[in-house]
Amino acid sequence: MKGKLLDWSFRYGALVVIAGVFVFFSIANENFLTYDNIADILRSISIVTFIAIGVTLSQIVDGFDLSVGSTVSLSTVAAATLMVWFEQPLIVVLVVPIAIGALIGLLNSLLIIRFRIPDLLATLAVMYIIGGVQKTYTKGYAIYNNMQMTDGTKAPGKFSESFKWIGQGELLGIPVPVLLMLLAVVLVHLFLKYTRWGRQMYITGGNREAARLSGIRINRVRLAAYVLSGCFAAIGGILFAARVGSGQIDAGAPLLMESVAAVFVGFSVLGAGKPNVIGTFLGAVLIGVLLNGLTMLNLPYYAFDIIKGVVLVLALAVTFVHLNRRRV
């Protein structure tokens, strides 16, 4: 009986919790289920979901990318300064931060694959390096329209309406970042499930030596995973800048924990027992709903980390208790 209960909780527990949280906050606050609030939740989780997709890809190849938060921060201020400081066109504002994310992924890959530094340590070091780079680049200042420069002049540019539309606009009544998020989730799911590269990622993460013996170029697969992780984090940074209309330093710091929690909650969605993008998306929904609902209940913001930590611990407990039972 106990075993069946554990199996059931592993397979359906996350979905039950998400539904329960929705019901609780709907009863506790009549404004929770309004269109504006649901749209706000979806906008906020779109950023977390993009970051978490990157973490998911690194997890699939048996790695872990801790640098995604700093990548978000750097890409956010990069997009902002390209507009405010240098008055660059939209295409440059979009491409350069994503290229920066790819370069950070390459740096992670170099440290992990070439120098054989454990992924947690390598990406932790890169996290600090990139965090220092973005603070040095901006001299510790947030980037905003016509900001005061250190030499006493004002920055010549400002956030374009076309850029802010990416984070604030709507298409057919649906927020643009939500459409981008759903498109990314579907495409990455199809990539992982139905393409040779996606299957190679799972094989590489499951048994690296067996993958190598079967002819898979495991280092190339791992490199691709970290580069994609950096790119998805950079997209999250672009969406963040477009949503708030400014370039905030350390914007990605609180998003790291949320994305990691979303990934591990996703392990237990429908009994997957492994990183998967659908589970990651539902994990992001759970985190987003919790934070939004607690805000509406006027819980102090400094207590939010407690909630995030508890969710992460519960997700890890359910996942690894079940996995350990299957191994016995």
pLDDT at 160: 95
Question: Residue 18 is which amino acid?
Answer: I
Q: How confident is the model at residue 20 (pLDDT cuts 50, 70, 90)?
A: confident
Rounded mean pLDDT of 60-69? 96
Q: Is residue 2 part of a domain?
A: no
- Percent of the chain past pLDDT 90, that is, above it, reads 72
- Work out the number of other CB atoms within 10 angstroms of the CB of residue 34: 11
Structural domain contains residue 201: yes
**96-117 per-residue burial string, b: 16 or more CB within 10 A, e: under 16:** bbbebbbebbebbbebbbeeeb
Lowest mean pLDDT among 230-234, 243-247, 304-308: 304-308
Summary mean pLDDT of the chain: 91
State yes or no: pLDDT of 208 exceeds 60: yes
SS3 for 99-128 is HHHHHHHHHHHHHHHHCCCCHHHHHHHHHH
Question: Residue 47: which domain range?
Answer: 9-327
- Measured CA to CA, the distance from residue 213 to residue 208 in angstroms comes to 9
Closest CA to 177 of 12, 325, 45: 45
Question: How far is the C-alpha of 178 from the C-alpha of 169, rounded, in Å?
Answer: 10
**Does residue 327 have a pLDDT over 70?**
no
* Range in 12-16, 215-219, 253-257, 290-294 the model is least confident about: 12-16
1 lies in a domain?
A: no
In a domain, 4, yes or no: no
Instruction: Identify the pLDDT of residue 310.
Output: 83
Domain contains 40:
yes
Spatial distance between the Cα atoms of 164 and 93, rounded to a whole number of angstroms? 12
122 belongs to a structural domain: yes
Specify whether the CB–CB gap between 41 and 21 falls below 8 A: no
Banded model confidence at residue 5, pLDDT cuts 50, 70, 90: low
The percentage of the chain sitting over the pLDDT mark of 70, rounded to a whole number, equals 92
Output the domain CATH number for residue 208. 1.10.3470
* 66 contacts 36 by C-beta, under 8 angstroms: no
pTM, full prediction: 0.94
Instruction: Identify the band that residue 323 occupies on the pLDDT scale cut at 50, 70 and 90.
Output: low
- CB atoms < 10 A from the CB of 243, how many? 19
Confidence of residue 86 (pLDDT cuts 50, 70, 90): very high
Lowest mean pLDDT among 108-112, 230-234, 246-250, 265-269: 265-269
Q: How confident is the model at residue 18 (pLDDT cuts 50, 70, 90)?
A: confident
DSSP string, 238-303: HHHHHHHTSB-TTTTHHHHHHHHHHHHHHHTGGG--S--HHHHHHHHHHHHHHHHHHHHTT--GGG
Residue 316 located in a structural domain: yes
Q: State the Cα–Cα distance between residues 148 and 106, nearest whole angstrom.
A: 35
Region 192-220: mean pLDDT is 95
Contacts of 162 by beta carbon, 8 Å cutoff, 6+ apart: 90
Which pLDDT value is given to residue 51? 98
264 vs 167: which has the higher pLDDT: 167
Does 224 score more than 80 pLDDT? yes
3-class state of residue 171 by DSSP: strand
For range 270-286, the mean pLDDT = 86
What is the rounded average pLDDT of the residues 146-160? 90
**Count of structural domains, the chain:** 1
Q: How far is Cα of residue 327 from the mean position of the Cα atoms in its chain?
A: 30
- Is residue 141 situated within a structural domain? yes
